[in-house]
Amino acid sequence: MSDKPLAPAIEGWYTLDAKPHLIGTRCKGCGTYFFPKQSHFCKNPDCESTDFEEVELSRTGAVWSYTNACYKPPEPYVAREPFEPYTIAAVQLEKEEMVVLGQVCEGVSVEDLKVGMTMELVLEPLHETDDDIKVTWKWRPLDQ
């Protein structure tokens, strides 16, 4: 990668600090969390709230399941050439009681993962444009 500036791949979905968080919302009526953000109506069928607060989600969780991608995905994915397989994890956030998908950081393969192990959120490049390096959230084993 070059020394281009870093920019979020998807604007406003995560913080860009050293210990990043996903940015969600929380319904002020019933307490349900949303990621991606929900700010106009609550999806809980028993809640009519339209009032939300932006919150940073827990940045650690437990592996719910995991896999990898051995084939290059179609657009809009921007694949590196030559394509290199990457690992993917579904991670359960305890407080939010939700599962969030994401790539796993480089250098970690499926052999390194187990259901239940603790992961933390990190930022890594997703692809490069003419102007900047787009970064996204990824999961990394906590003890690494």
Partner 1 sequence: MANEIAILGAGMHPWGKWGHNFVEYGVAAAREALADAGVSWRDVGFVSGGATIRCGYPGYVAGATFAQALGWQGAEVNTSYAACASGSQALAAARNKILAGECEVALVVGADTTPKGFLAPAKGYRPEDPDWVRFYLGITNPTYFALYARRRMDLYGDTLDDFAAVKVKNSRIGSKNPRARYRKAFSAEDVAASAMVADPLRLMDICATSDGGAALIVSSLEYAKKIGKGNAPRVAAISTVTPTFASGVVEMPDIATDSAAAAGVEAQAYRASIPVKAYEEAGIGPEDVSLAEVYDLSTALELDWIEDLQLCPRGEAAGLLRAGDTAVGGRIPVNVSGGLACFGEAVPAQALAQVCELTWQLRGEAGDRQVEGATVGITANQGLFGHGSSVIVKK
Burial (0-12, 13-18, 19+ Cβ within 10 Å), 73:
exposed
Residue of the chain from 7, 39, 54, 73 that contacts partner 1 (CB under 8 A) = 73
- Spatial separation of the C-alpha atoms in residues 1 and 48, rounded to whole Å: 47
7 contributes a contact to partner 1 by CB under 8 A: no
Residue of the chain from 2, 5, 40, 74 that contacts partner 1 (CB under 8 A) = 74
- What residues pair up with 56 in beta bridges, in sequence order? 23
Write down the least CB distance from residue 141 to partner 1, Å. 16
Residues touching partner 1, count (CB under 8 A): 47
Comparing CB distances to partner 1, the nearer of 4 and 127 is: 127
Query: Which residue in the block uniquely carries the two structure tokens 């003890």?
Result: 143
Comparing CB distances to partner 1, the nearer of 115 and 142 is: 115
In angstroms and rounded to an integer, the radius of gyration of the C-alpha atoms of the chain is: 16
110 contributes a contact to partner 1 by CB under 8 A: yes
Comparing CB distances to partner 1, the nearer of 94 and 142 is: 94
Residue of the chain from 7, 16, 115, 142 that contacts partner 1 (CB under 8 A) = 115
55 contributes a contact to partner 1 by CB under 8 A: no
Residues 95, 118, 64, 12, CA torsion sign: positive
Q: Which two tokens stand for residue 133?
A: 């390096």
Contact (Cβ atoms closer than 8 angstroms) between residue 57 and residue 35: yes
Q: What count of other Cβ atoms lies within 10 Å of the Cβ of residue 33?
A: 19
List of residues contacting partner 1 (CB under 8 A)? 9-11, 13, 27, 30-36, 43-47, 64-71, 73-77, 86, 88, 90, 95-103, 110, 114-115, 126, 136
